[in-house]
Structure 1
Amino acid sequence: MARSQAQDVIRCQYCEEEPALFQCVPCGDELCPRCKKFHLKSKVPSGHNVVPISEKLHPTNVVEMCESHPSKPYDACCEDCQVPVCILSIQEIHNTHRIGKMLDMYEKQKAEAMKELSEMKTQKRAHVIERIQDVEDGESQVKNSHKHRSWEMKRQAKDFTDHINAMLHEYLGESASNAKSQLEELSLYKAALEEYKQNLEHVIEKLEILTESRPPANFILYRKQNPELVKQLKSPDRLVTADPTFKPGQLNKEQNKTQFGHMTKFSLCEW
């Protein structure tokens, strides 16, 4: 880059006299208007892209160096491979391919990208926002549905519990009444046995006295007067208790589920 010592003005790299008003993007040369004409006549596969220096910072004018040949700038594009290329890349790899101007490919791909960008900003963005809203509505629906189902199942469970508690209360009452009746019968039976035991002890005592201390005549007379004394001591009939039983019913899980209720599962579907 040639500069004037006095005014620090960029000078043409060719004549080094006139101010450089242009720059060749592929070459990087800074040119005056007169040398620009000569520069444009030199042959390169992609041609020259000479722009005013004031425009050289535009994205299309920024010089980028080749990844395969860092010392060479990209100055064209391979239309077959759809990649930027430098002069050496054209000679070594893309020599049989169609070579075009980088600006043409840039403008074409930029137009396609702008169309895609517009579609993403409008249709796709609106669509995904709508789908997110659908998901949020679905989340609310699931939560509300679960809350309502839980309330219904708890109410059903309470009805079952109340019914079971009522049956339990009824059965406990029957069992208590039955036990009370049996205890009363056993009490009467015990009283009869006590009375029989008392009479038995009295006869035993009487007979013991007669057999031990009374004269034989008195004993014989007593036996004559009470021939049926022992036979009259009649024992109450034997009372056999039968314990009440409780046989639990069989709990069928599937049947109980059917009696309790049926619930469908929440499902998701793609559309």
Structure 2
Amino acid sequence: MASASAFAQHYVECDNCEKNSAQFVCKTCSGHLCEECKIDHENRKLTKNHEITAFKTDKEELLGLLHCSEHNTKKLECFCGPCKKPVCTDCIVSSHNGHKIKTLLTAYEEIRDSLKRTIEVIECTFLPKYCELLRSEDQKDLELRNQANKIEKEIKTYTQNVVGRVMEISKHAIEKLRMEEENGRQELQKSKTELSERMNILQQTRDMLSATLEAKPDISYFKPVDVSFLTEINALPIQTYYQLDKFKPGDIGQMIKDNFGIFAKLRSSRTLCDRSERRSSERWDSQASSNSLMKKIFASPNRKGRFDDRYN
């Protein structure tokens, strides 16, 4: 595995030639130097007394390379608490006089410790709890689907019962129809029987009279024939017509809809987190504001002494 120094050299280029990877750093002018430029730096009259060390990625050491964005020749040495920003000595005199000041390293360590505590809260409190909540949501999702499946079966069973009841009503309606039909046919049969009896009488009378007419006249021929019944027969029976009322369907669809039952409706309820969870949230809120200060410490637009975000 590559060392931290090799890792830094691979990604940070020499500030002088801007071609080779940096292997050294000048603490005096905060410049990154490759091997060749280091030798040249040491041989120049203006820079031969500069303090040059091997380039490392120790964050505490890198703090000493940061320069003020307002006073480019000044290094960031302190941190202003009220303004929540790193400052140089000129900044303190010009605009931060009287403010609560701490060393940049102290501020860095405080923010580092705050970040560690935040990570601990996330890993030990929030993530386990959210994993538990996610498992709970999966279980509730399964229970909800099971509830829906159970209700669906109940609806289908109830529907079959309703259909069965409707079929019973239909069967009863058909039986009633046939009974009414049978009553009408019985009345028609009585009428047909009465008409048939009268027709038989008429036919018998006709045959008797025809026989008398065709026979040889004798003394019986002159005997009067009783046809008084023809007066009664001449009064034709009153005709009775039978007709079944047409079937008029009721609005059973709307009636079933209104009386089918109460449809299932989704209801929800919420539960509050317990006190320990609320305390964790409060600790998180108190630390969240300080976490953003880390970027402010290293947010310097000056190329000289920059701190690569890759090493945050």
Normalised-by-shorter TM-score class:
0.5 to 0.7
Instruction: Give the structure 2 partner of residue 46 of structure 1.
Output: none
Instruction: Give the structure 2 partner of residue 142 of structure 1.
Output: 144
Instruction: Give the structure 1 partner of residue 173 of structure 2.
Output: 171
1:57 is aligned with what amino acid?
T
Q: Contact 1:78/1:84 (CA < 8 Å) preserved in 2?
A: yes
1:11 is aligned with what amino acid?
E
Structure 2: state its 5+ residue gaps: 1-25, 203-221, 273-312
1:123 is aligned with what amino acid?
T
Name the SS for the 1:100 alignment partner: strand
1:131 and 1:254 map into 2 onto residues whose CA distance is: 40
Name the SS for the 1:257 alignment partner: coil
**Pair member with larger Rg:** 1
Q: Contact 2:78/2:104 (CA < 8 Å) preserved in 1?
A: yes
The alpha-carbon distance between structure 1 residues 61 and 190, as it changes in their structure 2 partners (threshold 3 A), is farther
Instruction: Give the structure 1 partner of residue 39 of structure 2.
Output: 8
> C-alpha root-mean-square deviation of aligned residues, in Å?
4.3
Q: Contact 2:71/2:90 (CA < 8 Å) preserved in 1?
A: yes
Higher relative CO (CA 8 A, sep ≥ 6), structure 1 or 2?
2
Instruction: Give the structure 2 partner of residue 23 of structure 1.
Output: none
The alpha-carbon distance between structure 1 residues 180 and 12, as it changes in their structure 2 partners (threshold 3 A), is farther
Question: Structure 1 residue 31 and structure 2 residue 51: aligned?
Answer: yes
Q: Contact 1:78/1:85 (CA < 8 Å) preserved in 2?
A: yes
Instruction: Give the structure 2 partner of residue 218 of structure 1.
Output: none
Instruction: Give the structure 2 partner of residue 108 of structure 1.
Output: 110
Structure 1 residue 180: deviation in Å? 4.1
Alignment of 1:1-271 (within 5 A): 8=39, 11=42, 30-31=50-51, 53-54=53-54, 57-62=57-62, 63-68=65-70, 72-186=74-188, 189=191, 226=227, 229-241=230-242, 243-244=244-245, 248=250, 251=255, 253-257=257-261, 263=264, 265-271=266-272
Structure 1 residue 90: deviation in Å? 2.8
Identity %: 15
Instruction: Give the structure 1 partner of residue 275 of structure 2.
Output: none
Q: Contact 1:66/1:74 (CA < 8 Å) preserved in 2?
A: yes
Q: Which moved more, 1:225-234 or 1:98-107?
A: 225-234
Structure 1 residue 99: deviation in Å? 2.2
Q: Which moved more, 1:97-106 or 1:7-16?
A: 7-16
Structure 1 residue 158: deviation in Å? 0.8
Structure 1: state its 5+ residue gaps: 19-29, 33-52, 201-220
Aligned residues: 218
Q: Contact 1:76/1:86 (CA < 8 Å) preserved in 2?
A: yes
Structure 1 residue 132: deviation in Å? 0.6
2:42 is aligned with what amino acid?
R
Q: Contact 1:13/1:31 (CA < 8 Å) preserved in 2?
A: no
Structure 1 residue 190: deviation in Å? 6.1
Structure 1 residue 16: deviation in Å? 5.8
Structure 1 residue 235: deviation in Å? 1.8
Q: Contact 2:41/2:47 (CA < 8 Å) preserved in 1?
A: no
